[in-house]
Amino acid sequence: MSIVPTTLTSLVLFVVLLLPGFAYVIGKERNGTGQQPTSFRETAAVVAASVTVEILVLGLFAIIRTAWPAGTPDIGALIRDPGGYLRGTGTEPGHYALVALWGAALLAFSVALAYLAALPAMRKFLGPYPHSSMISAWWLMLDTWQGNREVQLGCVLDDGSYVEGMLGSFSTVADDRPERDLVISAPIRYRAPGEDEPNLYDNWALVSVSASRIVTLFVRYADKPDAAAANPASADLGPAGPASTAEA
């Protein structure tokens, strides 16, 4: 049996049913690690999120329908005689505008609710997010343990050179793969192979470093300037977690 929509009505229903789940997956991708799930797992996540959110929204609609029957569509009449209820009969007016308005509102609310459910602030009610089993060492050091502090990086590269600076951004891919990269921002210091001290490159704002070239990554945390100025004794240059050095 094919699940591919073959009519316009079935296509619309297909999109409506899966749109909240798609919004949920987009929210996870934008606010979590870059995972590479299997097709089955990704499809199951879309379907499960859609069904869960739509059941909640329909339950809310049932409550509203009970309290405000005059302003909401009569689902029973719509199911018994969809054409007559929408277009109207000789004695009853049509309700297509009411059905369309409520349908669009419920779909928009479902999509918004599914997206909000993927935000870290909401998911943390269910436990730590993302879970430690689903994140890379970079995510642990540069996000989870970072707190609200600045991050300074020092990278020893495979040719013996060294580059350091402030964290600009990092790849959120969940796997510790060599195709990732780091973006380091000013002040940037670089030590070429064979040299003793790094030189300040004050004419450059950013530098990208490939994970495939990094042998050792050093991480140091420090309070942001405004926080340190308010409480100088609170500055902490140490790690915010069990370790602050990682092998790439």
Mean pLDDT by 10 residues, the chain (248 residues): 65 85 85 68 88 95 95 92 87 89 95 89 68 75 87 95 95 78 94 93 93 94 69 46 47
pLDDT of 235: 44
Residue 105: per-residue pLDDT: 96
Q: Where are the alpha helices (DSSP H) in the chain?
A: 8-31, 39-67, 75-80, 82-87, 96-117, 120-123, 137-139, 225-230
Q: State the Cα–Cα distance between residues 60 and 52, nearest whole angstrom.
A: 13
| CA–CA gap between residue 74 and residue 77 (Å, rounded) | 5
Q: What region, left, alpha or beta, does residue 171 occupy, with left being phi > 0 and alpha being psi -120 to 50 degrees?
A: beta
Residues 143, 171 contacting (CB under 8 angstroms): no
* Nearest of 1, 36, 82 to residue 179 by alpha carbon: 36
- pLDDT score at 234: 44
- Helices marked H in 81-205 — which ranges? 82-87, 96-117, 120-123, 137-139
Question: How far is Cα 170 from Cα 214, in angstroms, rounded to an integer?
Answer: 13
pLDDT value, residue 168? 94
Predicted TM-score (pTM) above 0.85: no
Burial 33-53 (b: 16+ CB within 10 A, else e): bebeeeeeeeeebbeebbebb
CA distance 108 to 74: 20
Q: What is the CATH number of domain 135-247?
A: 2.30.30.100
Domain boundaries, the chain: 8-126, 135-247
